[in-house]
Structures are given as C-alpha cells and as structure tokens.
A and B are shown apart, each in its own frame.
Chain A
C-alpha cells in the first residue's frame, strides 16, 4: 500500500462543475502539499497546510489530521484547470523528502 494515495486517478468534468480530489496518507506528517503539474512537466506549488483549510482564488484545500485525509476543491472549474494535481506529504523539519502521491489527472471540458 502506498503511503500517499489519491483518488480518483482520472477525472473528467464539464466546465463550471465543482471538483473534489482526495488524498489519504498513512504516515505521520508535518505538512501536506498540493501541487499542480501541467503537460510538459512544470510543477507549481498550490498549498502547503498542516491543519484546517486554505483558500486561494477558486481553489480550496482542507486537511483532517485525525483522519489523515485532505481534499482539494476547485469551484467553477474551467478548461485551464486541466492538469495533474499531486498530493505530497513531508515528515520532518524540511520538506525535501516529500512523499508523493501518483497524481490525479483532471480534464475540464468546455
């Protein structure tokens, strides 16, 4: 069993739909990260959180430490949101040893 698991692996939705991507982890963590990877490889850090909820524009990330679960939500989805969304956790003081999920490939159709 992977230490960080995401669901779903693939998600296709229509423009405007509310999107939820889930991440569960089985190890103790100091922080959880959500990252976005567009075709071609570039990775952008979206959120780093260790408790509660964070919001940036149409993106919302939540984490439940007791349940070892996090969700990434996208409101009013748009085709430009199409990307791979990756959940990763860090365990120590520094986050260089990130443990990565396999990613969720999101396609938003116009």
Chain B
C-alpha cells in the first residue's frame, strides 16, 4: 500500500499525559499537512510542511502542540499535557509540490482523552 499511513489508529489517554502520532506520507510527496476533526465538523487545518520546513501553523495550535518532519519524510504530531478538548480525529495528508495540488489523506488517528 503506497498511500498515506498513520499510527496509531486509535489512542486513549488520561488527561495530562503526552501523546505522539506519526504520519508517513506518500513517498514522493514533499508537502505534508495535519488537520483535526471533531465530531460533526469538517477538518480544521493545524500545520503544514514543505519538506522538513514547517511553513504554516494555525492559531488553533496551542503551545502544547508541536509537529516535526525532521528528514522531510515522516512527520510526528505531539500533544503535551492533553486535555479533554483535544479528543478528536487527527488527520494527515500529503501532496506533491505544484499549483492546486491534490491532497491525499491518511486514515486518521482517533484520540480520546479521559
């Protein structure tokens, strides 16, 4: 399977714990995006990488959130000191470089903070 993969698919954690999610994009894609989706809502943009550079970060992303893409391939999204409001589906997408490129989405990581 050469699509976008995310790990884990589900995560249950207690409030205050740190969690880390991983996204492996389509191998030739140099753009990578993170979104968050709560129940009944469309996805909200969180952050965007071109290769290893984080070019944009949403105001939604508090200081407890950090994302990295150290080698321009896979990316990690870490949430520190999780809160119940962080419970959501975290979606990763990747695309190639170009005008109006199509984003390809992974299956998502569903986070539940108890």
Contact = CB atoms under 8 A, between A and B. Distances in A.
Given A41-B110, A97-B56, A101-B42, A30 B100 contact: yes
Interface in B59-111: 89, 91, 93, 95, 99-108, 110
Contacts of B33: 96
Contacts of B43: 43, 86, 98, 100
B48 interface: yes
A40 B95 CA distance: 21
B31 interface: yes
Interface residues of A, number: 25
A13 interface: no
Contacts of A44: 105
A101 B43 CA distance: 8
Contacts of A35: 105
B41 A96 contact: no
A45 B104 contact: yes
B107 A48 contact: no
Given A41-B108, A96-B31, A96-B48, A102 B40 contact: yes
Interface of A: 4, 30-31, 35, 40-45, 48, 50, 86, 88, 90, 93-98, 100-103
